[in-house]
Amino acid sequence: MKDSVKLFIDQRGLDLRALITEGDQILATAVLPGPLGSGSLQELVAALVASSGRKPEHAHLLISNEQVKFSTYRLQEMPLADIEKIVQRSMTTATSEKEPIFRLTPLAPQQDKDVYLAEQIPREALDRLRQLFTDARLPLTFVSTGLQANLAAFAPQRENIIQAQAIFDISQDAVAAIFISPTDILHQEIQLIPETEQGTGDADDAGRGLKRRLFAILNVIHGLYSQYMLTNPLAPVEKVWLCGPGAEIAGLDASLVDAMDVEVAAFDLLAGRVEASRSFTPLAGLVGAKNPVNFISAAPGKSLPLNSKTFMQVAGSLVALLCLVVVGSSFLTVSRLKKQLATTQSELQPLQVAAIADQGRAASLRFLQKLDQTAPPLQAIFKEIADRLPREIQLDGINLRQSDEAGTLEVLAVTRHKTPWENERIFTALMTALDGVDNLECKQNPDIAMLRVGEEKMIKIKVTCQTTSVKGGSVQ
Amino acid sequence: MKQTILFCLIGLLLTGGIYLNRQQEAGRLRAEETRLQADKFLLQQQATEIAELAKQLTGTTDVATFTEALYSCARRTGIRDHEVITTRVNAEQQARGKRNRSKGATLSEQQLEVVLTADFRRIAEYIDQVQKLGHHQRISKLTLTPGDKQLKATMVINLYSLGEPYVR
């Protein structure tokens, strides 16, 4: 996997020190005058990009000592989580910050009590720094302190300590001292270097100025050492390590050997690889460290609500969008159906008008159609009547009335009146004969009348029947 | 955050209400559409049927041709005593009882009276042939009375047409 390109910036002191790395490889270094601002940051990045040819993907920062609040806590032995809660409560009370950003570093126990050094970075300062880097389109992913950087840089050396050793990280304006044993941090302190008088500018004056500054640094270191010896008389310092830009002053090592009678060594992780390498030691310690202390990861409370808020906003927007889509599609469907209905109605209207106008014509046409289909088969009826008539009865006439509703056929018949009666069932025989004729229904009773023709008496019978069509049913 | 959730819930409720309301409206409109489509289909079908019937049945009453056809029937059935007279024209401004004043809806009626003398068999055959002539006619009245040797038949034939009478 390709290593990411990182930018490391040391904000401490008057100058900004930076190096750009790819994996463990240092590509370039740069030193520019501080303080850290948007202009100086862009200038620093531009210089490093120009010299390395690579653009950093994210930034690591060693925050200035002024922005770190140090406090020491002496507590009974208890789990670290409980200690953190106590410290957090204490800081909240002192600073009114709900979730203070801090890290605890265990120091050497004193009088059966655990001692912790708390380094707190105000949230406001951290937010400002993150915004500064965000504006420069470079995400700030790591923030640490000089103490943590030096401890990380010195970690490989700790196993060689017998009693105690000291690291003096000397910047232009202060000396940070760390007295360290194989197991504990015995003492840590930062002291400002008093300002020395500026010379007139000639060579002699410059030389005197350097000496004055050397003496000032020696004085501060001596003071720190004396302070340490007062509190830790049983752990004398066997070796002193010097790093930071102030350690580059000529004659400091020798003067320190003379003054303190201890072994002095350069704490220089980049010796021979870059110019003024001792000033980059804390940064180099961060580059090589496996799990350096990061103050940004200790501030998750800030980003989570922001993410959560963003998530809620996105979710709310999606829900609103969904609602809009659902409501919109519903209204569109109804609107489309209304249009469709209007179209159908407009198509139906002329059909309805035409149907009303054609009502009479349609009825007339149906009448004509029915007329041809429902005519009673008169020939067949007459033939059957003639065939079925009993011998004693003669057909006297037929009257047919055919209307729209019904067809009526009157059959007039005569028979001789004889006494005694020869065929008493003559009337029923006639009715049966007529009833059996197809397409003829004879349900009414016959009309019977007497008729005298000359000397002969005749019986006249009239039977009224209904005609039906071939297809069945009365003719209508 | 609580406000956002509350707004989301209210929005969802409102959306649900509006959605249900619109769905009901859409259902009603769909049912109306289906009913109208059915009506439209029925009316179209009726219009097609009427057009087809009109093509088949519309025509004018041709009394002259029909009278000639009656004489032809009489000749074919061997009836010699055969008379045809026209009686009256009845143009009904109605469609068998329903109001109608549109063009082409007038059902005109022409009556012819036929008097003939023949035996029963010939009269029956004559009637059969007349019924087969078509021309939207109906024998509305028929009287068979005994004559000297043969039967006398008097019949009224109604001729119907959807068009002007006497137009060939």
Cβ A319–B18 below 8 Å, yes or no? no
Cβ B128–A378 below 8 Å, yes or no? yes
CA dist A429 → A378, A393, A424, A443, B118 (Å): 22, 10, 10, 14, 28
Tell me whether residue B166 is in a domain.
Answer: no
Question: Strand A25-33 to strand A113-121: parallel, antiparallel, or no bridges (unpaired)?
Answer: unpaired
Residue A345: the pLDDT is 93
Q: No. of H helices and E strands in chain B?
A: 3, 6
Verify that B52 and B71 share a domain, yes or no: no
Instruction: Give me the CATH code for the A5-298 domain, please.
Output: 3.30.420.380
Verify that B40 and B97 share a domain, yes or no: no
Topology given in CATH for the domain delimited by A375-467: Alpha-Beta Plaits (3.30.70)
Residue A471: the pLDDT is 55
| Cα gap A29→A20, rounded to integer Å | 6
Sign of the Cα pseudo-torsion (B58, B64, B66, B72, in order): negative
Tell me whether residue B90 is in a domain.
Answer: yes
Question: What's B86's domain CATH number?
Answer: 3.30.70.60
Tell me whether residue B98 is in a domain.
Answer: yes
Nearest CA in chain B to A325: B15
Q: Chain A contacts of B36, Cβ < 8 Å?
A: 341, 344-345, 348
Q: In what order do the strands lie in the sheet with A58-62?
A: A25-33, A15-22, A5-10, A58-62, A140-144
Domains of chain A, residue spans: 5-298, 303-357, 375-467
Verify that B78 and B138 share a domain, yes or no: yes
Find tokens 């998750």 and name the residue: A300
* The token pair that represents A395 in the structure block: 């057909």
Verify that B50 and B124 share a domain, yes or no: no
Cα dihedral A92→A93→A95→A99 (10° resolution)? 10
Which residues constitute the domain of residue B124? Answer: 63-161
Nearest CA in chain B to A387: B121
Rounded to the nearest angstrom, the minimum Cα separation between A451 and chain B is 16
Verify that B43 and B118 share a domain, yes or no: no
Verify that B80 and B97 share a domain, yes or no: yes
Verify that B67 and B148 share a domain, yes or no: yes
Angle at A311 between CA A306 and CA A317, to 5 degrees: 125
Burial of B64 (0-12, 13-18, 19+ CB in 10 A): exposed
Cβ B100–A397 below 8 Å, yes or no? no
pLDDT 10s per residue in chain A (476 long)? Answer: 567 888 999 888 888 889 899 888 888 888 888 788 888 888 888 888 898 888 898 899 999 888 888 888 888 888 888 888 888 888 888 888 888 899 888 888 887 888 888 999 998 888 889 888 988 888 888 999 988 888 888 888 888 888 889 999 988 888 899 999 888 888 888 888 887 665 556 667 777 888 888 888 888 888 888 888 888 888 888 888 888 888 888 888 888 888 888 888 888 888 888 888 888 888 888 888 888 888 886 444 444 455 667 788 888 888 889 889 999 999 999 999 999 999 999 999 998 988 888 888 888 888 888 887 778 888 888 888 888 888 888 888 899 998 877 889 999 998 888 765 666 678 888 888 888 888 888 888 889 898 888 888 888 999 999 888 765 444 43
Verify that B117 and B91 share a domain, yes or no: yes
* The token pair that represents A312 in the structure block: 């809620």
Residue A474: the pLDDT is 45
- In tens, the pLDDT along A370-396 reads 887 778 888 888 888 888 888 888 888
Tell me whether residue B39 is in a domain.
Answer: yes
Rounded to the nearest angstrom, the minimum Cα separation between B1 and chain A is 7
User: Please, which residues 109-168 of chain B have a Cβ atom closer than 8 Å to chain A?
Assistant: 120, 123-125, 127-128, 131, 134, 136-146, 155, 160, 162
Total number of domains constituting chain B = 2
Tell me whether residue B167 is in a domain.
Answer: no
Verify that B34 and B81 share a domain, yes or no: no
Rounded to the nearest angstrom, the minimum Cα separation between A402 and chain B is 4
Verify that B138 and B69 share a domain, yes or no: yes
Cβ B44–A351 below 8 Å, yes or no? yes
Tell me whether residue B77 is in a domain.
Answer: yes
| Cα gap A19→A177, rounded to integer Å | 24
Cβ B22–A330 below 8 Å, yes or no? yes
| Cα gap A409→A398, rounded to integer Å | 7
CB within 8 A of A182, min separation 6: which ones?
Answer: A158, A159, A161, A162
Question: Strand A440-441 to strand A447-453: parallel, antiparallel, or no bridges (unpaired)?
Answer: unpaired
| Cα gap A472→A466, rounded to integer Å | 12
Cα B88 to the center of its chain, rounded Å: 22
Cβ B142–A399 below 8 Å, yes or no? yes
User: Please, which residues 370-429 of chain A have a Cβ atom closer than 8 Å to chain B?
Assistant: 371-372, 375, 377-379, 382-383, 386, 395-404
pTM for the structure as a whole: 0.49
